[in-house]
Amino acid sequence: MGTTDPNRLPGAPAGVRLRPFVSELAVYAPGASSGVPAGVPVVKLSSNEGPEGPTPAALAAIAAEAPELNRYPDSGALHTALADAHGLAPNMVAASPGADMSIAYLAAAFLEPGDDVVFAWPAFVSYALTAQKQQANAIKVPLTADDTHDLDALLAAITPKTSLVYVCNPNNPTGTYVSSAALRAFVDALPEHVVCVVDEAYSGYVLEDDYPNAIEEYVKAGHPRVAVLRSFSKIYGLAGLRVGWMAAPAWIIDASIRVRGPFDVNAMAIAATIASLGDTATIERRGQENAVRRESLRAKLAAAGVASTGVANFLTVTVEDAQATTAALTQRGVIVRPLNGFGAPTKIRITIGSDEDMALAEPILVDVLSN
Ligand SMILES: Cc1ncc(COP(=O)(O)O)c(C=O)c1O
């Protein structure tokens, strides 16, 4: 092969046997965290992080674990704690270094090259990135005009080649959700060769009465082909530690265990997560406070003529040019996420921050977005 081989990554020496498709893979682009002019106070609302850090109990658990880091981690106690917290058998849960890696495990376990993965679009980009890594096809089904899942179109997109279908609930980046009744009708209509993955990374923030708890309604109820993802990155404030998990029938957990790494979840993450699970009052308070801040921003934007969607810790608005609006907000210290990378060049996503964050950001958001 010559040095002009298009399948070669820049800098790869001639003659090495890099798999050609690797140079075609897209690289995940995180939300921005800089670009604000010097001297301007910065509010980072671009990555849907929770504004509070680990709970006090989790911080204490991390400190207590640190001297033991010469030992390899044992995730058994975390699996027991997760299972107990949700009334599941321990073989129906699998922790991971972030829900993102649970998605990677599912892709590794289920997707042959050429298989289809069906999901709404825009939705969480990892469904597409992990499919590409298996040389599977990401089948992106456009959201409806009001930015919700088009469940009929998702069903219609399923073929004999479809292995997985994702329902991102609530959906990142639009914040819209699928109701309990709608999800039930969708799951009931799925053909038997398809596994449905319900991604509930933001579930702690959603207070709507008809929002489903898919762990209760499907996994605990014994549905054989529904897996549910949860994350400790958001409301639990552990994004930097990387911990998420999947609740699923034992056979799906078994498959995911076979494709994961031996010590994927680190010891501090295990200790912090077990401690966090015991502090339900803190998590409930965070959910309530987020809703108050979110609805405050929604109301102020609405009063300025700007409509928004979202029931989680972010709101999504439509603008003329997402990049230009993002740049204008960044100039004034407010960093948000333009959704160009999600195929939505007229939308921006605004994470709900702390009281202090929102006091700074709200007037700027109202001013820039209403102009
Ligand atoms: C819908 C959705 N699922 C999964 C994840 C991944 O979360 P984690 O940090 O646990 O990997 C995210 C992260 O933003 C997300 O938005």
Residue 44: CATH number of its domain: 3.90.1150.10
Tens digit of pLDDT for each residue in 72-116?
999 999 999 999 999 999 999 999 999 999 999 999 999 999 999
The reply to whether ligand 1 has any atom less than 6 angstroms from the CB of 49 is: no
The ligand 1 atom nearest the CA atom of 231: 10
Residue 329 located in a structural domain = yes
Same domain, yes or no, for 41 and 89?
Answer: no
What is the predicted pLDDT for the residue at 2? 39
Residue 4 located in a structural domain = no
Structure tokens belonging to residue 322:
């997402």
The ligand 1 atom nearest the CA atom of 243: 10
The reply to whether ligand 1 has any atom less than 6 angstroms from the CB of 369 is: no
Report whether pLDDT(68) > 70.
yes
Give the residue-averaged pLDDT of 2-16: 71
What is the predicted pLDDT for the residue at 1? 39
What is the predicted pLDDT for the residue at 10? 84
Residue 273 located in a structural domain = yes
Q: Where a domain ends, among 215, 244, 277? A: 277
Residue 89 located in a structural domain = yes
The ligand 1 atom nearest the CA atom of 233: 9
69 Cα–ligand 1 center, Å: 26
Pocket test of ligand 1: the residue of 121, 172, 197 to mutate, having most ligand atoms within 8 Å of its CB, is 172
Same domain, yes or no, for 145 and 161?
Answer: yes
Residue 90 located in a structural domain = yes
What is the predicted pLDDT for the residue at 7? 62
What is the predicted pLDDT for the residue at 237? 97
Give the residue-averaged pLDDT of 57-67: 97
The reply to whether ligand 1 has any atom less than 6 angstroms from the CB of 168 is: yes
Q: Could you tell me the maximum CA-CA distance found in the chain, to the nearest angstrom?
A: 63
Report whether pLDDT(27) > 80.
yes
Residue 131 located in a structural domain = yes
Same domain, yes or no, for 224 and 351?
Answer: no
Give the residue-averaged pLDDT of 48-68: 97
Same domain, yes or no, for 38 and 75?
Answer: no
How large a percentage of the chain has pLDDT more than 70? 98
Preceding omega of 224 cis (within 30 degrees of 0):
no
SS (H, E, C) the chain: CCCCCCCCCCCCCCCCCCCHHHHHCCCCCCCCCCCCCCCCCCEECCCCCCCCCCCHHHHHHHHHHHHHCCCCCCCHHHHHHHHHHHCCCHHHEEEECCHHHHHHHHHHHHCCCCCEEEEEECCCCHHHHHHHHCCCEEEEEECCCCCCCCHHHHHHHCCCCEEEEEEECCCCCCCCCCCHHHHHHHHHHCCCCCEEEEECCCHHHCCCCCCCCHHHHHHCCCCCCEEEEEECCCCCCCCCCCCEEEECCHHHHHHHHHHCCCCCCCHHHHHHHHHHHCCHHHHHHHHHHHHHHHHHHHHHHHHCCCCEECCCCEEEEECCCHHHHHHHHHHCCEECEECHHHCCCCEEEEECCCHHHHHHHHHHHHHHHCC
125 Cα–ligand 1 center, Å: 9
Same domain, yes or no, for 89 and 232?
Answer: yes
The ligand 1 atom nearest the CA atom of 171: 1
Residue 360 located in a structural domain = yes
The reply to whether ligand 1 has any atom less than 6 angstroms from the CB of 48 is: yes
102 Cα–ligand 1 center, Å: 10
352 Cα–ligand 1 center, Å: 16
Residue 10 located in a structural domain = no
Domain region containing 75:
56-277
Q: Mean pLDDT score of the chain, rounded to an integer?
A: 95
Spatial separation of the C-alpha atoms in residues 71 and 68, rounded to whole Å: 6
Tens digit of pLDDT for each residue in 220-248?
999 999 999 999 999 999 999 999 999 99
Which of 159-168, 190-199, 340-349 has the weakest average pLDDT? 340-349
The reply to whether ligand 1 has any atom less than 6 angstroms from the CB of 201 is: yes
The reply to whether ligand 1 has any atom less than 6 angstroms from the CB of 203 is: no
Q: What CATH number has the domain bearing residue 182? A: 3.40.640.10
Higher pLDDT, 3 or 285: 285
Tens digit of pLDDT for each residue in 282-326?
999 999 999 999 999 999 999 999 999 999 999 999 999 999 999
Q: Where a domain ends, among 277, 302, 335? A: 277
The reply to whether ligand 1 has any atom less than 6 angstroms from the CB of 199 is: yes
Q: Where a domain ends, among 247, 277, 307? A: 277
What is the predicted pLDDT for the residue at 274? 98
Structure tokens belonging to residue 262:
């031996």
Same domain, yes or no, for 196 and 270?
Answer: yes
Number of structural domains, the chain? 2
Same domain, yes or no, for 85 and 173?
Answer: yes
7 Cα–ligand 1 center, Å: 30
Give the contacts of 344 (CB within 8 A, at least 6 positions apart): 122, 173, 322
What is the predicted pLDDT for the residue at 57? 95
Same domain, yes or no, for 354 and 271?
Answer: no
Higher pLDDT, 294 or 6: 294
Same domain, yes or no, for 241 and 327?
Answer: no
Nearest Cα residue to 170 out of 139, 206, 143, 122: 206
Same domain, yes or no, for 65 and 96?
Answer: yes
Structure tokens belonging to residue 309:
């969607």
pLDDT band at 34 (very low <50, low <70, confident <90, very high): confident
99 Cα–ligand 1 center, Å: 6
What is the predicted pLDDT for the residue at 5? 61
What is the predicted pLDDT for the residue at 6? 54
Contact assessment for residue 113 and residue 268, using Cβ atoms and an 8 Å cutoff: no
Same domain, yes or no, for 115 and 65?
Answer: yes
Same domain, yes or no, for 315 and 222?
Answer: no
Report whether pLDDT(33) > 80.
no
